[in-house]
Amino acid sequence: MTKSSYSVAVIGLGAMGMGAALSCLRAGLTTYGIDLNTAALARLKAAGATAVAQDAGAFAEKLDAVLLLLVNAEQIRSVLFGANGLADKLNKGTALMLSSTISVQEVKEISQKLTEKGLIVLDAPVSGGAAKAASGEITVMAAGSEAAFNKLQPMLTAVAAKVYNIGAEIGLGATVKIIHQLLAGVHIAAAAEAMALAAKAGIPLALMYEIVTHAAGNSWMFENRMKHVVEGDYSPLSMVDIFVKDLGLVTDTAKSLHFPLYLANTAHSMFTAASNAGYGKLDDSAVIKIFNAVSLPQKGE
């Protein structure tokens, strides 16, 4: 496909970022990739990226848009405002899509600093997992100015099946994503608890999985994550530690609103226990490992 004159950089080539970058390539956008992982850079370059690097400085002036899919606000601040920060190298009017799951206050502070530098910001967390990212079908829950939506339209079209305009106020996107993560985290925790109970009762987990995924108790998270448990494969697509962070954001948000959380607090404790037990870097389905005296499938069995 002939590349367009619209140039994008995807910063953070993890499971979601790599899929988004490949979707941009597939849409014909001139695509750059930035990550510290040299294997990820090599993969994107082989797929047709114009350039890849551990730092975007060399091609910052060529960019129309930047998609940031980093783990947390600390990483975002380091990339944008740290030593050799990208924010000062971008042309005024470049649009940035902040798509990491971070707190409302963090996204507001980062957005304000970028706006003061003449840059355009969209508060735009995403969902859908690695598979949806790879197919260009993620869901974007976005807040920002009309100018931000317009400037980022080619990239939004490339990576998303659904783009929800929540409003002009920065922080609304982050709020919706945090509420969404409450559901995602609770669903994974509940799914793990159910499968652990099945294991304790001697029900074959492949059979339990088959029944639930064809019955009313199913959820997207059960179907997606418990497949990893049945296969005994905890290769990380979304890590346990991500939900320690995300459910921490949920509980912090609720505290600020003096709002009780009965299920989310328990789920947060479950993921924290899994991390404390040494499973933090495994797939988030590994939260099931906190249940003792149950026999779980092993990879290759």
What is the set of active-site residues?
A: 177
Where does the pLDDT of residue 301 fall: very low under 50, low under 70, confident under 90, or very high at 90 and above?
A: low
Domain with CATH 1.10.1040.10 in the chain: 175-290
DSSP per-residue letters across 78-132: HHHHSTT-STTTSPTT-EEEE-S---HHHHHHHHHHHHHTT-EEEE--EESHHHH
Report the predicted TM-score, pTM, of the whole model to 2 decimal places. Answer: 0.92
- Residues 9-13 have a mean pLDDT of 98
> How far is residue 110 from each of residues 73, 97, 122, 242, 269, measured CA to CA in Å?
9, 11, 11, 20, 29
Q: Compute the mean pLDDT over every residue in the chain, rounded to the nearest whole number.
A: 96
Long-range contacts of 286-291 (CB under 8 A, 24+ apart): 286/234, 286/240, 287/188, 287/189, 287/192, 287/240, 287/243, 288/192, 288/195, 288/196, 288/229, 291/192, 291/193, 291/196, 291/199, 291/200
Q: Can you tell me the mean pLDDT for 11-20?
A: 95
pLDDT at 300: 75
Tokens representing 77 are 């601040």
CA dist 237 and 107 (Å) reads 24
pLDDT digits over 22-81, tens only?
999 999 999 999 999 999 999 999 999 999 999 999 999 999 999 999 999 999 999 999
The rounded percent of the chain whose pLDDT value lies above 70 is: 99
Whether residue 203 is predicted with pLDDT greater than 70 in this model: the reply is yes
Residue 170: the pLDDT is 98
- pLDDT tens readout for residues 225-272: 999 999 999 999 899 999 999 999 999 999 999 999 999 999 999 999
Digit-coded pLDDT (tens) for 119-150: 999 999 999 988 899 999 999 999 999 999 99
Domain 7-170 is found in CATH 3.40.50.720 = yes
Per-residue pLDDT for 2 more than 60? Answer: no
Place of tokens 């140039």: 7
pLDDT at 158: 97
Residue 299 DSSP SS3: coil
Q: Is the pLDDT of residue 4 over 80?
A: no
CA–chain centroid gap for 117, Å, is 26
Q: Domain spanning 175-290 has what CATH number? A: 1.10.1040.10
Q: pLDDT value at position 255?
A: 96
Q: Which part of the chain has CATH 3.40.50.720?
A: 7-170
**So what's the pLDDT on residue 8?**
98
- 40-55 pLDDT, tens digit each: 999 999 999 999 999 9
Q: Which of 2-11, 19-28, 110-119, 163-172 has the lowest mean pLDDT?
A: 2-11
